[in-house]
Every structure is written in structure tokens, then in C-alpha cells.
Amino acid sequence: MRKAPVNQTQKSRGWLKLYLGSSFVGAAVGVAVAVWFTYQSPLTTHHVTVPLNSAATNPPVPLEGVFDLPKLLAAEHASQPWAIMGGALLQLSLPRLSIPLLERAIERDPENSLLHVALGEALALADGGVISDRAKAEFERVLKDDPNDLIARFYMGKWLLQNGKAKPALVKWVGLMRTVGNDQTWNDRLWTVMPRAAEEVGISQLTLQALCTSGM
């Protein structure tokens, strides 16, 4: 007579553990799927044999994981370890971890605009794509030295759109599209942001496509 409540309690605890475990797994899967579908690889690329290149239009050399970092640091041209580690972590979709390393790299080479644009992008990606005042300052600094920097132009367009300036954002992105031509990496990225700006301005997608191809 006294064992029944104990068995019921054990069963209840078992179901509770099963419920909590399945809920945790479900939540983890949901987060993983969300990250998978919303993550965008950084436009700033890092190659072992060349420095960070904000004007690169080729996809970055893929890294298998953080265990590739020693190989990067031991490479023949690895003269800037902080830049290499910061760029690698940014490429591995770990922008928040890359920020302090890129800051250290800038301390050693404060005039390097490529490092500044990488830091700006890392700040933006760490904030879920939102262009903070600090990230904007990095992009503005880069554009002051090089008004044609592709990545800084792209993210300044995002800042304009986020601040209710859809028309100048669209103008900036259409100009960028004409600059990069048929490069697939840039075409894919620009078409993730231009339709929203075009919708806010009242331009159809067909008209937007015509604007992007004219003059190419």
C-alpha cells in the first residue's frame, strides 16, 4: 500500500526528466537551425599568404576549425599574429572573439585600413548585423582613406537603411552592384539587402534589376 506513491513519484520524476531533456534538445536544435539560416559569412577575408583584404571578392580560404590557427601562425607570411588570429576567428563565425584580437592588431598597425574594416565588420556581425556607432566610426575612417572600399560601402548602406534613409542606402548599393559586376559573392550579399530598401522607396524588383544592370 505504501509502495504505490513511491512508484508514482519515480515515474513522475522520470517523465519530468524526459520532458526537460527533450525540451532542451528541441531548443538546441532550434537555435542551431536559426543560426544556420541567418548566419552570413564575413565579407572580410583572410588568406594565409596575403593580408586581410577588404576589397576581395573571392570567398575566404575555408578553415576546418580553431585547430587550424597554429598552421596560420606558422605560415611563411605570418608577420601579424593578432591580425591572423582575429581574421581567422571572424571567418569561423566567431566575431565576438575576433574583436579583441583585431584591436590588438590595430594597436600595432593603427594606420592599416584593412584591419579597421575587419574590426567594423566584426562589431556589426557580433551585434546581429546592427551597425553601432563604433562600427560606423571604423567604416567612416576606412572610407576617408579609400572612398571605394567595397565592404565599408556595403555596411554604410546598412547603417543608412537602419536609420530610416532607404533611398541613399539603395543608391549606395546599386552603385556597389555596378562596381562588382558579375561577382557572385557580392551579388548574393547585395540581393539580401537591396529588396527591403527598394520596397521602402517604392521601387519594384524588376526596376531594381534594371538599375543594377544599367551601365555595367
One pLDDT digit (tens) per residue for the chain, 216 residues = 454 455 555 555 554 444 434 443 343 333 333 333 335 678 876 544 445 566 655 555 555 565 666 665 555 554 477 787 888 888 888 899 999 989 988 988 899 888 999 999 999 999 999 999 999 999 999 999 999 999 999 999 999 999 999 999 999 999 999 888 888 888 899 999 999 999 999 999 888 888 888 755
In this structure, which long-range contacts are made by residues 80-84, counting pairs with CB atoms below 8 Å and at least 24 apart in sequence?
80/51, 80/105, 80/108, 80/109, 82/108, 83/51, 83/52, 83/109, 83/112, 83/115, 83/118, 84/46
- Rounded to whole angstroms, the Cα distance separating 193 from 197 reads 7
- Rounded to whole angstroms, the Cα distance separating 53 from 120 reads 13
Which pLDDT score, from 0 to 100, does residue 78 have? 46
Which pLDDT score, from 0 to 100, does residue 73 have? 59
Which pLDDT score, from 0 to 100, does residue 32 have? 35
Which pLDDT score, from 0 to 100, does residue 108 have? 84
